[in-house]
Every structure is written in C-alpha cells, then in structure tokens.
Amino acid sequence: MATYTQPSAFIPVVPYASVVYADGYFASSFAKGTTWAAFTEEQRLAALRQATTEIDTLYFIGTKAVDGQLREFPRSMRFDMGFDDEFPPGISNACCEQAYYIAVNVTQGADHEARRDHQDQGLSSISREGSVENYDLPSARRTPITPPALDILRSYIAYTTNLQDPR
C-alpha cells in the first residue's frame, strides 16, 4: 500500500511569467504599465504565482509533458495544436493578464472570490456597467479567470462546446 509523505519544506509556485517578463509585457501599455509598475516586486511575484495557480485550474488540450509534474505546463500538444511546442505562445501573456487582475483587485479591496461566489449561487452571467461576465464556461467552472487572460488561453483550453465571448 502506497503512503503519502508530506514534503519537508514549502515549495513555492514557479510562475508561468517572471517579474521581468511581466514588466516588459506591461511596458507597452501606458495604463496597465503605470499601474503594474506601482506594485512592489514582491506583490508582482505573488500575483504571478497566484495567476499561475488559477490558470492551472482549467482543462487544457494535450497531456503534461512529464508524468507527475505539478503544473499544467509544459504540455505535449503537438497532435492537438499542430505545433511541437510544450510551452505554447500566450501562456506567459495570460499569466501576466491574470496577475494584473489579481494585483489590482487585491490592492483596491475588491473581492477576488466574487466570481466563485457568483458561480456557487448558480449564476450563469452577471451584467455590470455595460459589460457582461459569463460564468457558464464548460472548462472555466470555478475559476476566476479574467476575460483578457481567457481570450489568450481560449485556443489551449479543452472543451466540448463553444466558449462564448462574455462581452
């Protein structure tokens, strides 16, 4: 009978994008770049780690590249996506977008768990100030993935029905 052995030390999440990468990613956007740069390096790294963890809650095409790996990427996707790239383009960018959402909402006091709460209440969508957020996404259930990150991830997500644009 196999037994579980608890790790002797905490293993931090290695994010899909580094702080340096995210800084460069947001440098081309005045609004997001200015806001992102105002966070400390520790806050940016924490947001990138959380973003990676949240992205990993989705169901992706292909299989993990190595049996037993903790993260969803790298993945073997060659047959599904038509390219031989275990870490497809866009994953780091989606991580940046999700981290931005996390950092802004946490520092502005917004409830990051609101999306999960809405899903738990059985809501399929919510409309606010002219925009609609759709919670009825087959492979995004129980995940607070922001629309800009989801737009980037859409081609890597495994699903059985079309993902509808929530806007």
Instruction: Output the pLDDT for position 136.
Output: 56
- Picking from 47, 76, 74, the residue whose alpha carbon sits closest to that of residue 63 is 76
112: Cβ contacts below 8 Å, ≥ 6 apart: 102, 105, 106, 144
Instruction: Output the pLDDT for position 106.
Output: 76
Q: CB–CB of 61/156 below 8 Å?
A: yes
pLDDT grade for 24, boundaries at 50, 70 and 90: very high
d(CA 61, CA 55): 13
DSSP-assigned states of every residue in 31-50: HHHHHHHTS-HHHHHHHHHH
Q: CB–CB of 76/65 below 8 Å?
A: yes
Q: CB–CB of 117/111 below 8 Å?
A: yes
Range from 132-136, 145-149, 155-159 carrying the lowest mean pLDDT: 132-136
Burial of 70 (0-12, 13-18, 19+ CB in 10 A): exposed
Q: Hunting for tokens 């993935």 — which residue is that?
A: 145
Look up residue 28 and give its two tokens. Answer: 């081309």
**pLDDT tens, 31-71?**
899 999 999 999 999 999 999 999 998 988 888 888 888 89
Question: Span 15-29, mean pLDDT?
Answer: 95
Q: Is it the case that residue 81 has pLDDT exceeding 60?
A: no
d(CA 3, CA 12): 23
pLDDT grade for 165, boundaries at 50, 70 and 90: very low
Range from 7-11, 28-32, 66-70 carrying the lowest mean pLDDT: 7-11
